[in-house]
Structure 1
Amino acid sequence: RLRAWNRDDSAVLRGWVALFDAWSLVHPSPEGIEATAVAEAVEAVPQVLSLLQLSAGPVPVPALLDLLGQRVAELHEERCEVPYGPREQPAPATTETSADLNALLLDWALEGLAAVGALTLGAGNATLTPLGNWAVWVKLEQICVAAQSPAGNIEQPAADMLLGCARLTPGPARAEYRAWLAARPVGSAVTELLAVARGEDALLRGLAFEALRVVGAPAEPVVRSVVTEAPLRPYALLWLAEYEGADPDDAQDVLSREEATWLWVDTAAAVADHGETGLLVRHLDSAVQGTVPALLDEVRAVGHPRTVQVLVALAAAHPDPALAKAVRRAAFQVHTGGA
Structure 2
Amino acid sequence: MARGALADAVRVARWAARERGEGTGARAAADGSLPDAAAQQAADALDLTPQQVRADWDRARLAGLIELHGGVARPGWRLRAWDRDDSAALRGWVALFDAWSLARPAPADAGPGAVAEVIEALPQVLSLLYLSAGPVQVADLQELLDQRIAELRTERCEVPYERAVRGAPDPDAVAGPVPVEAAGQGADSEEPDDAAALSTAPDGGAAPDAGGQTTDHAHGRPAPGAAADGAGASSAALLDWALDALAAVGALAVPGGSGGRTRGAGDAAALLRGGEPAGERQARLTPLGSWAVWVKLEQICVAAQSPAGNIEQSAEAMLRGCARLTPGPARAEYRAWLAARSAGSAVEELLAVARGEDALLRGLAFEALRTVGAPAEPAVRAAADEPALRPYALLWLVEHEGGDPETAPDVLTREESTWLWVDTAAAVADHGESRLLVRHLDSAVQGSVPRLLEEVRAVGHPRTVQVLVALAAAHPDPALAKAVRRAAFQVHTGGA
Same fold per TM (> 0.5)?
A: yes
How many Å separate the matches in 2 of 1:233 and 1:29?
45
* CA apart distance, 1:307: 0.6
Residue number in structure 2 paired with 1:42: 119
How many Å separate the matches in 2 of 1:163 and 1:67?
43
| Structure 1 gap ranges (5+) | none
Task: Tell me whether 40-49 or 22-31 shows the greater mean CA deviation.
Answer: 22-31
Residue number in structure 2 paired with 1:100: 225
Q: 1:7 aligns with which of 65, 81, 84?
A: 81
Q: Deviations over 1:119-166 (max 9, x none)?
A: 122341112122222221221111111111111111111111111111
- SS class of match (2:223): helix
Residue number in structure 1 paired with 2:102: 25
Q: 1:177 aligns with which of 334, 337, 341?
A: 334
**1:131-280 map, 5 Å:** 131-280=288-437
How many Å separate the matches in 2 of 1:72 and 1:139?
21
Task: Tell me whether 30-39 or 223-232 shows the greater mean CA deviation.
Answer: 30-39
CA RMSD of aligned residues (A): 2.3
* CA apart distance, 1:33: 4.2
Q: Deviations over 1:239-279 (max 9, x none)?
A: 11111222322222221221111100000111111222222
Q: Deviations over 1:195-242 (max 9, x none)?
A: 111111111110100000101111112211221211111101111111
Residue number in structure 2 paired with 1:324: 481
How many Å separate the matches in 1 of 2:361 and 2:399?
20
How many Å separate the matches in 2 of 1:88 and 1:273?
68
- SS class of match (2:402): coil
* CA apart distance, 1:81: 5.9
Aligned residues: 338
How many Å separate the matches in 2 of 1:293 and 1:42?
65
Greater Rg, structure 1 or structure 2? 2
Q: Deviations over 1:57-105 (max 9, x none)?
A: 322222222322332333233333699x946669897128531224333
Larger relative contact order, structure 1 or 2 (CA cutoff 8 Å, min sep 6): 1
- SS class of match (1:127): strand
- SS class of match (2:445): coil
How many Å separate the matches in 1 of 2:89 and 2:80?
9
Task: Tell me whether 118-127 or 203-212 shows the greater mean CA deviation.
Answer: 118-127
How many Å separate the matches in 1 of 2:93 and 2:403?
30
How many Å separate the matches in 2 of 1:48 and 1:86?
34
* CA apart distance, 1:34: 4.5
How many Å separate the matches in 2 of 1:272 and 1:47?
50
Task: Tell me whether 59-68 or 255-264 shows the greater mean CA deviation.
Answer: 59-68
- SS class of match (1:228): coil
* CA apart distance, 1:327: 0.2
How many Å separate the matches in 1 of 2:330 and 2:321?
9
* CA apart distance, 1:6: 4.9
Residue number in structure 1 paired with 2:462: 305
Task: Tell me whether 41-50 or 29-38 shows the greater mean CA deviation.
Answer: 29-38
Q: 1:120 aligns with which of 253, 258, 263?
A: 253
Structure having the larger proportion of residues in helix: 1
How many Å separate the matches in 2 of 1:80 and 1:255?
59
How many Å separate the matches in 1 of 2:385 and 2:123?
42
Do structure 1's residue 110 and structure 2's residue 231 form an aligned pair?
Answer: no
* CA apart distance, 1:185: 0.4
How many Å separate the matches in 1 of 2:223 and 2:445?
72
Counterpart amino acid of residue 479 in structure 2 = A
How many Å separate the matches in 1 of 2:401 and 2:244?
41
How many Å separate the matches in 1 of 2:181 and 2:110?
25
How many Å separate the matches in 2 of 1:209 and 1:6?
23
How many Å separate the matches in 1 of 2:325 and 2:339?
19
| Structure 2 gap ranges (5+) | 1-63, 66-74, 160-176, 184-194, 197-208, 227-234, 257-280
Counterpart amino acid of residue 240 in structure 2 = D
Return the TM-score normalized by structure 1. Answer: 0.92
* CA apart distance, 1:31: 4.1
* CA apart distance, 1:331: 0.5
How many Å separate the matches in 2 of 1:332 and 1:78?
64
How many Å separate the matches in 2 of 1:26 and 1:326?
67
How many Å separate the matches in 1 of 2:424 and 2:468?
12
Question: Structure 1's 98 and 105: CA in aligned 2 closer, same or farther, altered over 3 A?
Answer: farther
Counterpart amino acid of residue 107 in structure 1 = D
Taking only the aligned residue pairs, the percentage that are identical comes to 75
Task: Tell me whether 34-43 or 295-304 shows the greater mean CA deviation.
Answer: 34-43
- SS class of match (1:99): coil
Residue number in structure 1 paired with 2:17: none
Residue number in structure 1 paired with 2:232: none
Residue number in structure 2 paired with 1:295: 452
* CA apart distance, 1:12: 3.6
How many Å separate the matches in 2 of 1:228 and 1:29?
43
* CA apart distance, 1:108: 2.0
Counterpart amino acid of residue 197 in structure 1 = A
Q: 1:70 aligns with which of 138, 142, 147?
A: 147
How many Å separate the matches in 1 of 2:105 and 2:310?
38
Task: Tell me whether 202-211 or 105-114 shows the greater mean CA deviation.
Answer: 105-114
Q: Deviations over 1:41-61 (max 9, x none)?
A: 222211111122223332222
